[in-house]
Structure 1
Amino acid sequence: MKIPKPIQRGHTWRITVTYDKKRYSVTRDTPKECEQWAALKLLELKTGKTQVENGIKPSFPCHQLCEQYYAEHGSKLRSNYVIRSKLDNLDRILGHLATQSIHDFHPNDIVKWRNKRLLEVQSSTVLREFAMFSAIFSYAQKELFLIESNVWQTVSKPSKGKPRNQRISEDDQQAIFARSKWDNQTAPKYMLHYVGWAFLFALETAMRQGEILSMRRADIREGFIHLPMTKNGESRNVPLSAEAKRLLSLLPPENDVLVPVKVKTFKRTWIRMREEVNLPHINFHDTRHEAITRMVKVRKLPVEVLAKITGHKTIGILINTYYNPDAQDLVEMFNSSES
């Protein structure tokens, strides 16, 4: 069945589909969202309304539910690019469960998937994927009323595992930055330059990748940068070191978005850079670990001040996950306290 074209109404778009002499319509922000909704709606209508009326549950593949969840809910979340990336690789992540009907999911299926996935990736990754699929099935239960209970909630989650404590040494920093081919003195021009700039800026400020990519010129204030919205749902002010101010001064003045690089492009470029210098184990988020550890070592910041800078609501996570001193750092701090 052909998908009708969306019609623009002011700043929104509306689409209407007809099935069995009945009309169904919806309003969305973009034409693409309208078309996704229409395709899912027609599929839903065609998969056997008669069966439902006779008490038979029609097949509803997991991948179809995932796409409907993203169109209706996931695309509006701040983490939408992460969800989209996972769903784009659904066949690899879920295997045969991606095409299995949500009505045929059993606890044993989840257990087998969890144990297999733990052999493929880190437990923290499995935990995040587990939480995402659980949220999707909760959506099917509480919003679409397709299932009576969430099978994911009947199975034990994977353990968090040990916190990541990867540091970035001076040699690692120089190797990765050199690959950006930026001179650190003139305005960044190419994508590699901007990734190199963001790498150095993250080490100075402990800001997350998403926070750096969302910075606008109006956010720059006297001595700090204001982040209107962060991962924890609140705003934050990040003080700027002399080096951070210098880096900001190098950005082209016409840039409203200070780092004009899309998230996916940034990630691809970063991965290529680190692999080309044989440092595939270093993630961009490790700059946050390194920056926080340096702030304690160099600036001697008390933990309550550090939490305000980094945006951590839970002090335990800040101390146990992001502050990663090595043995020599601890020895130096211990001896300096005696002087």
Structure 2
Amino acid sequence: MASFEQHGNKWRVEVKHKGVRQKKTFPTKRLAMEWAVERERQLHGATAGRMEDWHTVRETFETYSVRVSNKKGGVKWEQSRIVFFLENNPDLARKKLVDLTSNDLGLWRDRRLSGDPARKIAPVSNSTVEREMNLLSNIFHTARREWKWIEKSPLSDVRRPPATLPRTQRVDMEAIERVLLALGHVEGDPPDTTSRRVAYAFLFALETGMRAGEIRTLAWPCVHFDGKYVHLPKTKNGAPRDVPLTERAEEILRTMEKAKDEPDDSVFRLSANQIDGNFRKAKIRAGAEDVHFHDTRREALTRMSEVLSVMELSKVSGHKDINILQNVYYAPKVQKLADKLRAKRA
């Protein structure tokens, strides 16, 4: 078991195993964690037989968290899911990796879908379990291919939950106005509270189709008023992207510029928790519980589709798979399609 202590600008880590203690100091906690994982692996190996006999599920997940998740854009989500799995499945966490079976994981899947009243864990949707199974699959395949800790993934024979239909919810103007009112939005006024900055982020998402994380990390050096676009150096798929600005999007940025905090390059000055928490509370107060912040992406891209071609739209959205763009984010109202058909025949 490793313990970490911060001394000034450095981190000291101590690893203990069967009476053996080793210490080392590092400039960052991440380096200390990587060393601790490797030293624990070596110490375990020195007191065990075959390598595959001593790797536990906990060690496998924690090693993946340090070596792999840390290098991903979705590091927070992956690491939080790993911690949740280990904390709420202690029996599985203690198991040796080679002893983990498809039956173990099938029972875990069923518990996630039905919930666990004893632990006060609510049931989750099929799509949530699907995402978590994708994470587990990556962990087991990494352990098999790169680390050679197992010969076969225990998840390979586990049935996936039925796929749910993609969400097609759009955001109508009435819901938008109610949410903005709940956030305390005052049109044209530079935001002076966190909730009002969330309101402008919400409006900006409706104009650009940008994800909440992309809006949250947008910095002033990446805003190009002369070129009428913002540059995103890092996106969900890892590739940079330029997003064109509508007149309304530019107006929002000009308003945010008036509330600019000089030492901070962030445009909206919001954390992920601030966006999530403030928006969730506002939509409840507004009686618009079914509105998700991410629905703005679908709404924006569907509006843009009336002007842009599919290829142009994919450049704006950053989608490499046109099918995902079409099936998930393009949700035209059937009445508008009918009007187009009638107008063409007239």
TM range (shorter): 0.7 to 0.9
Asked if residue 169 in structure 1 is aligned to residue 172 in structure 2, the reply is yes
Asked if residue 229 in structure 1 is aligned to residue 234 in structure 2, the reply is yes
Give the corresponding residue for 1:57: 53
The gaps in structure 1 that reach 5 residues or longer are none
Give the corresponding residue for 1:267: 276
Contact 2:53 2:98 in 1 (8 A): yes
The gaps in structure 2 that reach 5 residues or longer are 115-122
Which whole-Å CA distance do the structure 1 matches of 2:14 and 2:83 have between them? 27
Asked if residue 103 in structure 1 is aligned to residue 103 in structure 2, the reply is no
Give the residue type in structure 2 aligned to 1:97: L
- Listed one character per residue, the Cα deviations across residues 294-319 of structure 1 (whole Å, up to 9, x for unaligned) are 2224xx32211111111111211111
Give the residue type in structure 1 aligned to 2:173: E
- Listed one character per residue, the Cα deviations across residues 257-302 of structure 1 (whole Å, up to 9, x for unaligned) are 11212223322222222233233332211111111112224xx322
1:146-295 mapped onto 2 (5 Å cutoff) = 146-221=149-224, 222-251=227-256, 252-253=259-260, 254=262, 255-295=264-304
Which whole-Å CA distance do the structure 2 matches of 1:44 and 1:301 have between them? 54
Tell me: CA distance 1:160–1:285, structure 2 relative to 1, closer, same or farther (3 Å): same
Tell me: CA distance 1:304–1:42, structure 2 relative to 1, closer, same or farther (3 Å): closer
Greater Cα offset, 176-185 or 36-45:
36-45
Give the residue type in structure 1 aligned to 2:334: A
3-state SS, counterpart of residue 331 of structure 1: helix
Tell me: CA distance 1:93–1:274, structure 2 relative to 1, closer, same or farther (3 Å): farther
Greater Cα offset, 40-49 or 234-243:
40-49
Which whole-Å CA distance do the structure 1 matches of 2:186 and 2:75 have between them? 34
Which whole-Å CA distance do the structure 2 matches of 1:156 and 1:2 have between them? 36
In the TM superposition, what is the alpha-carbon distance from 1:244 to its structure 2 partner? 0.3
In the TM superposition, what is the alpha-carbon distance from 1:92 to its structure 2 partner? 7.4
Q: 1:329 aligns with which of 296, 312, 336?
A: 336
In the TM superposition, what is the alpha-carbon distance from 1:248 to its structure 2 partner? 0.2
Give the residue type in structure 2 aligned to 1:249: R
Tell me: CA distance 1:30–1:335, structure 2 relative to 1, closer, same or farther (3 Å): farther
Give the corresponding residue for 1:316: 323
Contact 2:2 2:14 in 1 (8 A): no
Which whole-Å CA distance do the structure 2 matches of 1:88 and 1:250 have between them? 40
TM-score by structure 1 length? 0.84
- Listed one character per residue, the Cα deviations across residues 111-149 of structure 1 (whole Å, up to 9, x for unaligned) are 233344344322221111001011112233334433232
Which whole-Å CA distance do the structure 1 matches of 2:278 and 2:94 have between them? 32
3-state SS, counterpart of residue 337 of structure 1: helix
Give the corresponding residue for 1:127: 130
Contact 2:53 2:96 in 1 (8 A): no
Tell me: CA distance 1:268–1:100, structure 2 relative to 1, closer, same or farther (3 Å): farther
TM-score by structure 2 length? 0.83
- Listed one character per residue, the Cα deviations across residues 224-251 of structure 1 (whole Å, up to 9, x for unaligned) are 1111121122121111111100000011
Give the residue type in structure 1 aligned to 2:48: Q
Contact 1:208 1:288 in 2 (8 A): yes
Which whole-Å CA distance do the structure 1 matches of 2:4 and 2:104 have between them? 38
Greater Cα offset, 153-162 or 324-333:
153-162
3-state SS, counterpart of residue 201 of structure 1: helix
Give the corresponding residue for 2:117: none
Identity of aligned pairs, percent?
29
Greater Cα offset, 201-210 or 247-256:
247-256
Give the residue type in structure 2 aligned to 1:305: E
Which whole-Å CA distance do the structure 2 matches of 1:2 and 1:116 have between them? 31
Contact 1:15 1:34 in 2 (8 A): no
* Number of corresponding residues: 331
Contact 2:3 2:13 in 1 (8 A): no
Give the residue type in structure 1 aligned to 2:170: R
In the TM superposition, what is the alpha-carbon distance from 1:59 to its structure 2 partner? 6.4
Asked if residue 73 in structure 1 is aligned to residue 68 in structure 2, the reply is yes
Contact 1:63 1:99 in 2 (8 A): yes
Contact 1:292 1:322 in 2 (8 A): yes
